[in-house]
Amino acid sequence: MFEIIDEKQNVKTVKVSLPHEEIEMARDNTYANISKNIKVKGFRPGMVPKKLLNAIIGMEKINEMIKEDIADRAMDELYDDEKFHELNPMMPPALISVNVGETADVIFEVHSYPDVAVESMNGEKIEIPPIKDEEIEEDINRKLQHMREENAILEPKEEEETIEVGDQVEAEYHVVGTGEKPKEFEIVIEDPSKGKIFADLIGKRVGDTIEFEEGKSEDKITYSMVVKRVYKRKLADLDDDFAKAVDNEAQTIEALKVKLRNEAKESIKNLIKEGEINMILEKLTDKTTLDISEHSLDLFVNHVIARQKEKKEYEESLKDFGGDEKTYRDTLKKEIASYLKLKGAVEKIAKEKEIKVLEDEIFERAKEYYRSFGMSDERLKVILSKDKDFYNRVKNELLHRKVAEELLKTAKIVVMEPEEEIVEEKESGEIREGEEKSDG
């Protein structure tokens, strides 16, 4: 059992009291571990007398080790107590002190997820971009051109013919001086401004060799490339035959365009929907205040950095801030505060409106993550049961989305006016093409 002996904002000081028997068990366990791991001439491991261990290691050090064992036992008791989890700790409890007498009193500092206050979100204005017909038509044209490129007819060019923009080239390359086996690759030649490799290949013929270098002077690698085959790519006409070839459902080119237009509209609507969700959650964060101590935020920053260091990610994160640790910590602190605001607000609204995430929903969303891996349902269920971080990430994502959709029901969705082109006025005396100067 534990008791709360002090409470300020989200920080609670708790005391765990252990009976004398636990102290003796901690003492025996400490001596047993020392005796097992120390080498003393004339004694087998685990058989070194306590008095000799006291003399070798010192009572002060041994007492500290006993206190550490007692603290571990108290921590275990905390985590085994359901009431401790009701405190909603956002990080492991911090040990404050261990006082040993007839009983042991272990003091911990528990930092709970903070309470939040959320302003009303009714009528919140959400601006969305208009769906422009010209942008949809541009998307259709891009897709049609991509289909033409993907279904191009390849006509072998004669060996004496040179490589031109639009041709498809098959070549082999290897690193010079390594004796490695050549590797094959294909490339469609684009304008030379798009890359040096295009400039190098244009004008070459089958059998020609090109050498090029990559990397800095000290790590420069020289490659040798041989042109093996060149094809002229003939793009199909946009007619009914093309439509039937690329889509079994489309019998005419107009039917194909209608299908692509509907897909484009649906895609844009989905993007706008995602934008609405992100915007309403941003506004929810802005309208939420935290009741949290600065000490908790600082400890949370330390906790995040410690995990980054364990995963060897800290130095890489620091690079984005030019190695400035203070700037990085300050930024991390703001991000954590925003995270805690949104987390608290979402959970509070979900509780008030009885919004829940079902196990089936978590499973279906997880399937989307692993769809490309061809994973079986049984294997995915095992992953969800074992990987609690992944499980909670999926669950929280769904909860955030459900709360956002609930808030959007009372939001004011405004379609932004299209930006008008700014037409510069003529300067005095300027005549534009097609206009005549009046005699008057």
Per-residue pLDDT of 335-350, as tens digits, reads 999 999 999 999 999 9
Instruction: Examine the pLDDT at 82 and tell me if it is beyond 90.
Output: yes
Distance between CA atoms of 113 and 94, rounded to whole angstroms? 15
Distance between CA atoms of 358 and 347, rounded to whole angstroms? 15
Residue 419: its pLDDT value, please? 63
Instruction: Examine the pLDDT at 13 and tell me if it is beyond 80.
Output: yes
Q: What is the mean pLDDT of residues 39-63?
A: 89
Contact 261, 140 (CB under 8 A): yes
Cβ neighbours of residue 173 closer than 8 Å, sequence gap 6 or more: 182, 183, 185, 223, 224, 225, 226
Report the DSSP pairing between strands 11-18 and 104-111. Answer: antiparallel
Write down the mean pLDDT value for the chain.
Answer: 90
Enumerate the CATH 3.10.50.30 domain ranges in the chain, comma separated.
153-234
pLDDT band at 439 (very low <50, low <70, confident <90, very high): very low
Contact 233, 152 (CB under 8 A): yes
What SS3 state is found at 184? strand
Q: Token match 């925003």: residue? A: 338
Per-residue pLDDT of 352-361, as tens digits, reads 999 999 999 9
Could you please report the per-residue DSSP string of 264-277? HHHHHHHHHHHHHH
**For domain 153-234, which architecture applies?**
Roll (3.10)
Per-residue pLDDT of 120-157, as tens digits, reads 999 999 999 888 899 899 999 999 999 999 999 999 99
Contact 336, 304 (CB under 8 A): yes
Contact 151, 245 (CB under 8 A): yes
What's the CATH fold of domain 2-112? Answer: Alpha-Beta Plaits (3.30.70)
Residue 48: its pLDDT value, please? 86
Buried b vs exposed e over 347-357: b needs ≥16 C-beta within 10 Å?
Answer: bbbbeeeebeb
Residue 420: its pLDDT value, please? 54
Q: What is the mean pLDDT of residues 359-375?
A: 90
Q: Token match 């895609």: residue? A: 267
Instruction: Examine the pLDDT at 435 and tell me if it is beyond 80.
Output: no
**For domain 253-415, which architecture applies?**
Orthogonal Bundle (1.10)
Name beta bridge partners: 288.
118
Enumerate the CATH 1.10.3120.10 domain ranges in the chain, comma separated.
253-415
Distance between CA atoms of 321 and 290, rounded to whole angstroms? 27
